[in-house]
Structure 1
Amino acid sequence: MKFCFVILHYRTLNETIECIQHLKKLKNQHDIQIIVVDNGSNDASIEKIKKQVIEEENLLYVESEYNLGFAKGNNLGYTISKHKYQAEYIFMLNSDVYIKEKEFTELVVEINKQTNFDILGPDIITKNGDHQNPVNYINNDIKLVNKSIMRNRISYFASFLPLGIKELIKKNRIKKDESETCRELVQIEDCPLHGACLIFSENFIKNHEFPFYPDTFLYAEEDILYYLGKKRYEKFVFSPKIKVLHYEDAATDLSFSNQGKKRRFIIKNSNRSLKILKKLMKSNNSL
């Protein structure tokens, strides 16, 4: 059985090394292939990683000349996993996601036997102890997409406001989010999943040349994946039996020292992706 792990790397030197090292501690190393996709870092970080973690039979480095974004970068690793290694399971990880369970692959196979999933999401735990799966808010109709676009526009202008006003807005938003995420972590089927760690089954791999809609650059990939997946009657499963740690926003933090600029970058790309999702919804509704 072949398990391919795709790590999307963008300038996160230490995080990517740690991610690889955790994968090398998993059981059944002879069945595991690691593919590190350097997404046009252009900062020599991938060369430093190669010196510290030497390329070998079950570790492949792939370098893109420029930043393809989240969807296309992961699609590149997926295509190699499918066609070069004939993967039966493809695991997609952000470079700041760490797997500590040595029996991780065995647990995934066991969950698949029980659920016959197309896409599986683990319990993703942040450094603050928050749980990111299952995703508690998803843009699955045009009204919600419009609402998210409007909220993003308000947040964009708020990023230019004095610190006190911004903190008040942030405080109110967090309070609302906390009330929405108070839920028991049990196995759930047909739920949206966080993009930091996604597992694709053999059934999904057979039916798809790539997992992510390629027209986005960053953000809303989970929304589009879930929307299209539900149209195709695919099975999304969240299981707390498997856990990963997520030190989120590592790549974005390296790119932006100014938090206001970082926030505006996220909002702009989020809205671009949401508009693509909206177009998909409209075209499907017109059929």
Structure 2
Amino acid sequence: MNVIVLLCYNDDKVSVNYIKGIINYDVIDVILVIDNGSSKDKVHNLENELNKINSKKILFIKNENNLGYAKGNNTGIDYALKNLHPNNIIVSNTDVEYSEETMKYAIDYLNKHDNCDMVSPKMVLPNGNDGLIAWKLPKYWMTLWNACFLLKKFYNPQKYKEFPNDVCKVDVLPGSLLIAKADAWKTVGGFDEDTFLYGEESLLAYKLRENGKNTFVLTNVSYV
């Protein structure tokens, strides 16, 4: 079973459009929609639109407050692990697009390789240029370097120079679309809830590495 966790915050229209785009993807079994403390009107609109879609694939959970990216997504990850017993859990932003073939390729790769615990297709921007595909885990000297705007302008030490293969092992993947084995999420305990927004991807990558888990980017498939 493949479960996708979709965190929504005051973006009911974007969320509904995204769900409509993937609702018929056979590779996705459950769409777990988490409202993260949106305004009453936005929650009402979201619930109404989800009811109109009327799919058994959709499960809806409401957080009373905005818990942030990490804890908000953990609400869905924890629910899936305890109640749905999935093979894989996908964490996705609401403003991304991808084909079913892309998602199927990513999940198939994950399932067929024991040494692979988390993957993501290559991020592509709407203009066709590459987005933020992956980056290196920051070391102390990198943090100091990046704190200086002028130094970072000329050289970013966390940036990979290239991605030479169809499958490249990397440190950190962007949180906009993460596909991981349920066991990996269980092992690391989800995202670090001491963060509210920003930094959670690097902390997740650190916990994965500390637990012997491997992360890869698939450069021959992409999402926007």
TM-score where L is the length of structure 2: 0.84
1:42 and 2:39 correspond: yes
Correspondences of 1:93-112 after superposition (within 5 Å): 93-102=92-101, 104-105=103-104, 107-112=106-111
- % same residue: 22
Q: Residue type matched to 1:71 in 2?
A: A
Cα distance in structure 2, aligned partners of 1:12 and 1:3: 24
Aligned to 2:168: 188
- The alpha carbon displacement at 1:107 in A equals 4.3
Q: Residue type matched to 1:12 in 2?
A: D
Q: Residue type matched to 2:144 in 1?
A: N
Aligned to 1:113: 112
Structure 1: tracts of 5 or more residues without a match: 155-168, 246-287
Higher normalized helix content (fraction of residues): 1
1:144 and 2:142 correspond: yes
Aligned to 2:208: 229
Aligned to 1:199: 179
C-alpha distance 56-222 of structure 1, shift in aligned 2 (>3 A): same
Cα distance in structure 2, aligned partners of 1:119 and 1:4: 14
C-alpha distance 184-144 of structure 1, shift in aligned 2 (>3 A): closer
Moved more, 77-86 or 55-64: 55-64
Cα distance in structure 1, aligned partners of 2:197 and 2:62: 19
C-alpha distance 74-121 of structure 1, shift in aligned 2 (>3 A): same
- The alpha carbon displacement at 1:98 in A equals 2.0
Please say which structure displays the higher CA radius of gyration: 1
Correspondences of 1:211-250 after superposition (within 5 Å): 211-245=190-224
Cα distance in structure 2, aligned partners of 1:181 and 1:200: 22
- The alpha carbon displacement at 1:232 in A equals 1.7
Query: 8 Å contact 1:122–1:133 — kept in the other structure?
Result: no
- The alpha carbon displacement at 1:115 in A equals 5.5
Cα distance in structure 2, aligned partners of 1:53 and 1:185: 42
Query: SS of the counterpart of 1:239?
Result: strand
TM-score where L is the length of structure 1: 0.67
Q: Residue type matched to 2:126 in 1?
A: K
Correspondences of 1:38-117 after superposition (within 5 Å): 38-54=35-51, 56-102=55-101, 104-105=103-104, 107-114=106-113, 116-117=115-116
Query: 8 Å contact 2:88–2:180 — kept in the other structure?
Result: yes
Which 4+ stretches in 1 moved above 4 angstroms? none
> How many residue pairs were aligned?
218
- The alpha carbon displacement at 1:188 in A equals 0.5
Cα distance in structure 1, aligned partners of 2:163 and 2:214: 21
C-alpha distance 137-207 of structure 1, shift in aligned 2 (>3 A): closer
Query: 8 Å contact 2:36–2:62 — kept in the other structure?
Result: yes
Deviations 1:194-225, CA, capped at 9 Å, x for gaps:
111111114314534x3211100000111111
Query: SS of the counterpart of 1:38?
Result: strand
Cα distance in structure 2, aligned partners of 1:71 and 1:99: 23
Structure 2: tracts of 5 or more residues without a match: none
- The alpha carbon displacement at 1:64 in A equals 0.8
